[in-house]
Structure formats: structure tokens, C-alpha cells
Chains A and B, each alone.
Chain A
Amino acid sequence: MRELSLHVLDLLQNAREAGATLVKLWVEEDRTQDRLRIRVEDNGKGMEAEDMKRARDPFFTTRKTRHVGLGLPLLAAAAERCNGSLTLASSPGEGTRVSVEFEHSHVDRAPLGDLAATLTAFLLGEPCCHLAVTHRRDENEWSLDTRPVLEAVAPAPLTHPAVREWLQRTLAQAEARLDIPADRVPENDRRVREDEPCRSSTISRN
């Protein structure tokens, strides 16, 4: 796929298909160590060891609508050609974790792309599946947990046009701020607000 964020959308949709009610996503761009790491953890139905072994086989799938399952094999191939790897961990009834790592500066690494669009597309999906996401780029990061957001707007769903617009705007702003140097983020934006659904903080590196 042309953007890593499209692979992220694919992983998130896998989690939803697996019946997850909460997905945790970490995207970490560490240019000091020259690594880009993505981790998706869900509380879905998980996989048996036998299925997990075959999950990288493009001609293996458990669904009935078609005979191929290309998502994970494509992502594994993308990581492996960038001095990286894909790691799967899963236990039936508990969930699945997919971790993938790339060499950040590798010439073959696809750009991360539009992560905000990916998250919007996922959050508008049905059935509702919560998302706790953290995106870190060097020293800047932002997080969003959709559980308090849904609580604040209930009974309206996240797909309500007004809520959808709020999500789109919030995510776009958060992404745009990642490139602002840490010392130029306004003071009142730096507070870590655990009680708020969305927060952003500037982390100092030791």
C-alpha cells in the first residue's frame, strides 16, 4: 500500500472483525534511533497457534467471502524490505497484538501518510469499537481515547455528523502540531490532562 497509515487502517479493521471492543494503537517515529514502530493491540477473539502460524500466508484466511488474506503478508513484506519485521502475538479469547518495525530512513519505507484519515475511517465503522491511540514523533506526542468522548456525547454515536466533524478537526489539529518544535508549543498546551478525553504533552528526553 502507498501509505503505512493504510496498513494501520487494515490492522484496525482486522481487530474489529475479530470482535474487539477496544483497540490500542501506538505509532512511534524515533528519528534518533532511526526506527518507526507501530503496534496494534486488541481484545478480540484472538487466534489459535495454528492459525497464527498461517496468518502470514497470503492464501490463508478464515473468512468465507474470498480465498485470500493479504493484509498481514503485505505489511510483513513492507517491513522486511526496510530492515524491519512484523511480530504477532495472540491468545484465543484474549486478543491479538501486531507489532511492526521499520528503518525510519530506509529508501523503500512508504510514508506514514494521513493517519488522521485512517483513524476517522476506523472510528466511523460499525460495530462501534473503541480506540486508544498515541502518536509520537521524536519529542512530541498526542493521545486520544474515544471512551470518554463517546460518554460525553451519548446517546449520539461517533457517526453523528456533529461528532464526526469534531473528531476530524481534533485529529487533524493533533497531527499538525507534531511538527512544531517542542519549545514553541504554547505553555498552556503542554499540560497533561488525565481527566480529559484528549491530551497532548511535550516530553523531555533525558
Chain B
Amino acid sequence: MPKLDNIQELSRLRERAQQDIRVRLDTGTRITVGMGTCGIAAGARETMQALLKELEKRKIEAHVTTVGCIGMCASEPLVDIEQAGSDRITYGCVKPDRVPRIIEEHLVNGRPVNEWVVGRLSKQNP
């Protein structure tokens, strides 16, 4: 294995992570991908790969997590974006080709792509 023995590298990562972890968990961007059987079969894993690639390309630091089925199987893959101080937005039918526009308009420009939104949880009236 090439550099699989790089636990030293992990320790360095820890130092970096410790400094910004609180800040980001409290105020940062959180992206959640539905990963139940329905999501997986609809291509959620590839959607997540596309998300990670796009975030890396644009140097956006965001927490990406997966969850199980939330019961809206027909609209999978579902992607949920939460940003401190904004509404929580759920996008439906997010195939990998929809990812760049969502990242660009929602995360970079701060304007959700309304035509793909299937759910919205208002910050004011949760």
C-alpha cells in the first residue's frame, strides 16, 4: 500500500481540524444525502460523489452526511442543504448533473434553485 501508513498525516489533520471544527459545526453548511435502499437505487451514491467533487473543485468546505429513507422515495435522490441563518431546503431528483447548478446558485450565490425544491423548513417557523 503506498501511503496507507500515514497516521502521522492524520495527526496533522487533527490539529487543523480542532481549530475550525466548532466554528463550522455551529455556523457552517451541512449537506445531507438520502441513502436508503430507495436513494441508493436511484443513484444517491453517485450524487454524493458529484457533490464531493464539486465542493473540492470550488474549494467549499461543507459537512456532507448521509441518512436513511425519509419516506419520499419517489423523489430520490434527495439532497438537503442547511446553512446557518437560512431556511433548510430539500431538493428532489438530484441526479449528478443537477449538482453543479445547485452548488453554484445555492451555496455560491445564495439563491436556492426553486424549480427543484421539494421541501422547505423555515428558519423562523420550524
Contacts and interface: CB of A to CB of B under 8 A. Distances in A.
A117 B51 CA distance: 12
Interface of B: 1-7, 9-11, 13-14, 16-18, 21, 33, 35-38, 40-41, 44-46, 48-49, 52, 55-56, 61-71, 73
B1 A142 contact: yes
Interface of A: 1, 6, 9-10, 13, 16-17, 63, 65-66, 69-71, 74, 114, 117-118, 120-122, 124-126, 142, 148-149, 152-156, 159-166, 168, 170, 173-174, 177, 189, 193, 196-200
A200 B48 contact: no
Contact of B64 (A63, A124, A152): A124
Nearest to A168: B52
Contacts of A17: 68
A74 B64 CA distance: 28
Contacts of B71: 65-66
Contacts of A74: 37
Contacts of A63: 69
Contacts of B40: 1, 6, 9-10, 13
A162 B18 CA distance: 11
A54 to B, nearest CB: 16
B52 A173 contact: no
Nearest to B21: A156
A189 B7 contact: no
A189 B1 contact: yes
B68 A166 contact: no
B112 to A, nearest CB: 22
Contacts of B37: 10, 13, 69-71, 74
- Which of A118, A149, A162, A165 has the largest number of chain B CB atoms within 10 A? A162
A155 B21 contact: yes
Given A122-B66, A168-B52, A173-B1, A6 B14 contact: no
In this complex, the member of A9, A16, A168, A173 whose beta carbon has the largest number of chain B beta carbons within 10 angstroms is A9
6 contacts: A1-B41, A65-B70, A153-B13, A164-B64, A177-B1, A198-B4
A16 B48 CA distance: 18
